[in-house]
């Protein structure tokens, strides 16, 4: 029994990697032109360009963004000891939205400026806004010593920055259409440069989170127990928050606001295996990548040749999953009642 428990995380990791490879293969085959581009890839240079320069980086980018969100969700839930914590808990989503709003308002929505924003300014503004919001949360919370103060500061920052974005859109309503793609989430514009950037950030964040995983194991037993174990909580908390900010900010900057992936991935992993946070972080990241890649495939195929925003699908599927969890929990409590 003990060997099975120890092998379960490894088996799940191999299963998620196999599933990811299958989804990647489907990703290069599915698109607005159907399977024709994949079939004609050897003879038609345009079909080859569609597969190698559009579909493959899009699929790889969807997995990378989902892996970053799954990792940051596991970090947030372990750090705050709250299963409902998500990557945007410290205001990064509202900060990214405000950054994009400000960039669009300053540069306008002409085709030339939008082309420049799509390549450089949009991702940079979103990342700057997300990391700036987390920094503002840390300033308002006066450090990382008090978890409750951090949570409250994150809520305040999210509300205030969200109100600022709404005010900008109210004053300049012509920006709303340009903001829709970002607010609904999309992987359609992820290129090879974005894939490489997210892969590098994922590697750095995964390594840092793995090094800080002992503090998450200690916090699961309570703060007093973690202190009694001799863990330096303050610097390690700060390191985990930096990992959370970098991972979520990078994903949001590339794909916009994709909901529920960072929240649902750790839940799914914990429902399948029991493991320490060193494994939980990796498995949540792999699960998040598989979830967002699967949602991207559905977004391309449900209404083909038209596409649904991937953030809409993740919100619907993730919300349905959480409602099912609530129903199952309520049924279990009713069954235990005398």
Pick the range with the lowest mean pLDDT from 18-22, 243-247, 295-299, 323-327. Answer: 323-327
Question: Which of the pair, 218 or 20, is modelled with greater confidence?
Answer: 20
CA dihedral (102, 180, 75, 147) in degrees, to 10, reads: 60
The count of C-alpha atoms lying within 13 angstroms of the C-alpha of 298, restricted to the half-sphere facing its C-beta, is 14
Q: Considering the domain boundaries, does residue 46 fall inside one?
A: no
DSSP state of 221: T
Confidence label for 44 from pLDDT (cuts 50, 70 and 90): low
Q: Considering the domain boundaries, does residue 34 fall inside one?
A: no
Confidence label for 6 from pLDDT (cuts 50, 70 and 90): low
**Domain enclosing residue 70, as ranges:** 60-336
Q: What is the mean pLDDT of residues 146-151?
A: 80
Q: What is the mean pLDDT of residues 26-47?
A: 60
Give the CATH number, domain containing residue 99: 1.10.3470.10
DSSP state of 108: -
Tokens of 61: 């980018």
- Domains of the chain: total: 1
Q: Considering the domain boundaries, does residue 45 fall inside one?
A: no
Q: What percent of the chain has pLDDT over 70?
A: 82
- Across all residues in the chain, what is the average pLDDT? 81
Q: Considering the domain boundaries, does residue 246 fall inside one?
A: yes
Q: Considering the domain boundaries, does residue 214 fall inside one?
A: yes
Q: Considering the domain boundaries, does residue 265 fall inside one?
A: yes
Which conformational region is residue 108 in: left (phi greater than 0), alpha (psi within -120 to 50 degrees), or beta? left
Q: Looking at residue 108, what is its pLDDT?
A: 61
Question: Which of the pair, 222 or 280, is modelled with greater confidence?
Answer: 280
Q: How far lies 67's CA from each of 159, 240, 247, 293, in Å?
A: 27, 16, 9, 10
Is the per-residue pLDDT at 311 higher than 50? yes
Q: Looking at residue 1, what is its pLDDT?
A: 44
Residue in 44, 173, 53, 41 with CA at minimum distance from that of residue 101: 173
Q: Considering the domain boundaries, does residue 227 fall inside one?
A: yes
Confidence label for 207 from pLDDT (cuts 50, 70 and 90): very high
Q: Considering the domain boundaries, does residue 49 fall inside one?
A: no
Q: What is the mean pLDDT of residues 259-266?
A: 88
Is the per-residue pLDDT at 36 higher than 60? no
Model pTM score: 0.86
Is the per-residue pLDDT at 114 higher than 60? no
Bond before 187 cis per omega within 30 degrees: no
């Amino acid at each position: 029994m003990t060997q099975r428990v120890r092998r379960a995380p490894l088996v799940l990791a191999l299963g998620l990697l196999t599933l990811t490879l299958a989804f990647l293969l489907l990703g290069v085959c599915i698109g607005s032109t159907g399977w024709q581009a994949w079939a004609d890839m050897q003879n038609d240079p345009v079909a080859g360009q569609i597969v190698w320069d559009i579909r493959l980086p899009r699929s790889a980018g969807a997995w990378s963004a989902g892996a970053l969100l799954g990792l940051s969700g596991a970090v947030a839930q372990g750090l705050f000891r709250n299963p409902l914590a998500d990557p945007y808990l410290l205001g990064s989503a509202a900060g990214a939205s405000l950054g994009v709003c400000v960039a669009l308002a300053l540069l306008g929505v002409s085709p030339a400026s939008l082309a420049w924003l799509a390549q450089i300014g949009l991702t940079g503004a979103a990342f700057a806004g997300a990391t700036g919001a987390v920094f503002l949360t840390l300033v308002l919370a006066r450090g990382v010593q008090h978890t409750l103060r951090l949570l409250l500061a994150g809520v305040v920052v999210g509300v205030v920055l969200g109100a600022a974005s709404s005010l900008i859109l109210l004053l300049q309503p012509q920006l709303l259409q340009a903001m829709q793609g970002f607010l609904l989430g999309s992987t359609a514009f992820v290129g090879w440069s974005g894939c490489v950037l997210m892969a590098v950030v994922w590697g750095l964040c995964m390594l840092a989170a793995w090094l800080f995983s002992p503090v998450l194991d200690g916090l699961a037993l309570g703060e007093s127990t973690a202190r009694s174990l001799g863990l330096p909580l303050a610097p390690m908390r700060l390191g985990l928050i930096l990992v959370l900010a970098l991972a979520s900010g990078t994903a949001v900057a590339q794909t916009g606001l994709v909901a529920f992936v960072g929240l649902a991935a750790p839940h799914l992993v914990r429902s399948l295996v029991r493991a320490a946070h060193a494994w939980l972080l990796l498995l949540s990241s792999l699960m998040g990548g598989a979830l967002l890649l699967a949602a991207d495939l559905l977004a391309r195929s449900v209404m083909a040749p038209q596409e649904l925003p991937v953030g809409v699908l993740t919100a619907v599927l993730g919300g349905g999953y959480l409602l099912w969890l609530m129903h199952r929990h309520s049924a279990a409590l009713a069954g235990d009642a005398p």
